Amino acid sequence: MAQPLRVGMVGYAFMGAAHSQAWRTVNHVYDLPSPVQMQVVSGRSAPAVAAAARRFGWSDHTTDWRTLLTRDDVDLIDICSPGDTHADIAIAALSAGKHVLCEKPLANSVDEARRMVAAAEAAKTSGVRAMCGFNYRRVPAVTLMRDLIAAGRLGTIRHVRACYLQDWIVDPEFPLVWRLRKEVAGSGALGDIGAHIVDLTQFVTGRLVTEVSALAETFVRSRPLPSASAGLSALSAGGVVERGEVTVDDAVLFLARLGDQVVATYEATRFATGRKNGLRVEINGSLGTLVFDVERMNELQFYDLDRPVEEQGFTRILVTEPSHPYMAAWWPPGHTIGYEHTFTHQAHDLVRAIAAGVDPTPSFADALQVQLVLDAVSRSAETSSWVTVESAIVDPVEERV
């Protein structure tokens, strides 16, 4: 009988809910070598974490994530807490011999990320695995994009055009939540959503961002403080709304080069009115083009220059066929899946990698590479100059050569 994989999760907000849904579902959709067990969830507030355990289906709960390190019934620690906690938890967990899944961005700084990579490298020698949760790699349409590019269907890549557009803080009275505070979140749109498009484009093209020229902007520089307790915004005693300083970027835009002769524009913003989750990527190559938009995540647009010219056009592929990545396990063609299953697919791949004794991807080193790009972007925006991105890993395409 297969050994179960027993999970302890840290954090129970948006990401905690999404990961829980994935852990709960993955056993029932895929044939896994190890059944997943949702053992324990950790969070700072005792009543809240108890409620989360009940709601999300975790057998146990705790207010101290450190207890997970020594529990025999936890094989993997899933880190869904804010970025400033990632390094401590991940390094402790790996040292304790627990596999780790860590939400993106890997860390709030390159230094932290480097220490996490070192910890992952050390742990690997004893078969302990580490993975960073760039969930959008596991959208079937994105995986298909990667497969088509890897098969040479776009020829030589020329252009990358990536943006991640949201609008949830357009209202200047939206409160100063933790994602708008640098000491907790590390950065604003850059680390939260910019990280996704950096990872996604590096993943699908197999090329690394090598230099950047960036511009960052904070449009609304102060916001109402959220109340200490629970509400979204707070009135002071006298009825005056207290405001605090926004210390992260609202938007960041950058030009980039990937490898040799690929040129790119990137943009991450929380001020694109009407764009709710507008992660869009277009890749132009000498033989074709691929376009993806996560608001229509079951679709991929493919322009194939290898067709008769009269019949060329953007083909809207509905990525719901059994032969599409991850889709054999789901519903009949045309019956779409939702955002949450990017996490289900991620869980699937992680469980199989652990069982097979191989490293899951993206590795912590892959995530450090993203962090190095984010760091270069920050420095470029501060200095108004082009900044070269340090390389932590080998460019996958160059490696092949």
- Considering only residues 30 to 69 of the shown chain, the ones binding a copy of itself according to CB under 8 A are 55-57
What Å distances lie between residue 398 and 204, 384, 388, CA to CA? 15, 30, 18
Please report whether residue 150 would count as binding a copy of itself according to CB under 8 A. no
Please report whether residue 222 would count as binding a copy of itself according to CB under 8 A. no
The answer to whether 268 and 189 have CB atoms below 8 angstroms apart is yes
Give the ranges where 269-363 is alpha helix by DSSP (H).
341-356
- For residue 90, the minimal CB distance to a copy of itself (Å) is 25
**Of the candidate residues 118, 215, 234, 353, the single one contacting a copy of itself (CB under 8 A):** 215
Rounded Cα distance between 148 and 321, Å, is: 16
Please report whether residue 253 would count as binding a copy of itself according to CB under 8 A. yes
- For residue 328, the minimal CB distance to a copy of itself (Å) is 12
Paired tokens of 229: 């307790």
Residues 380-399 that bind a copy of itself (CB under 8 A): 384-386
Please report whether residue 315 would count as binding a copy of itself according to CB under 8 A. yes
> Which residue type sits at 57?
G
What's the Rg (C-alpha) of the chain? 21
Please report whether residue 311 would count as binding a copy of itself according to CB under 8 A. yes
Q: Pattern of binders to a copy of itself over 95-124, x per CB under 8 A?
A: ------------------------------
Rounded Cα distance between 127 and 129, Å, is: 6
Please report whether residue 338 would count as binding a copy of itself according to CB under 8 A. yes
Q: How many residues bind a copy of itself (CB under 8 A)?
A: 92
**Of the candidate residues 297, 365, 367, 373, the single one contacting a copy of itself (CB under 8 A):** 297
Sheet strands (E) in 111-224: 130-133, 157-165, 209-217, 222-224
Q: Pattern of binders to a copy of itself over 5-24, x per CB under 8 A?
A: ---------x---x-xx--x
Residues 155-194 that bind a copy of itself (CB under 8 A): 158-159, 161, 163, 165-168, 170, 172
**Of the candidate residues 92, 255, 355, 393, the single one contacting a copy of itself (CB under 8 A):** 255
Rounded Cα distance between 100 and 78, Å, is: 6
- For residue 253, the minimal CB distance to a copy of itself (Å) is 5
DSSP state of 372: H
- For residue 252, the minimal CB distance to a copy of itself (Å) is 9
Please report whether residue 336 would count as binding a copy of itself according to CB under 8 A. yes
Please report whether residue 323 would count as binding a copy of itself according to CB under 8 A. yes
Segment near a copy of itself (CB under 8 A); pick from 42-50, 174-182, 325-333, 370-378: 325-333
Type and span of the H or E element at 124: helix 110-124
Give the ranges where 167-239 is alpha helix by DSSP (H).
182-185, 189, 195-205
Nearest to 193 by CA among 212, 218, 167, 174: 167
The answer to whether 302 and 290 have CB atoms below 8 angstroms apart is yes
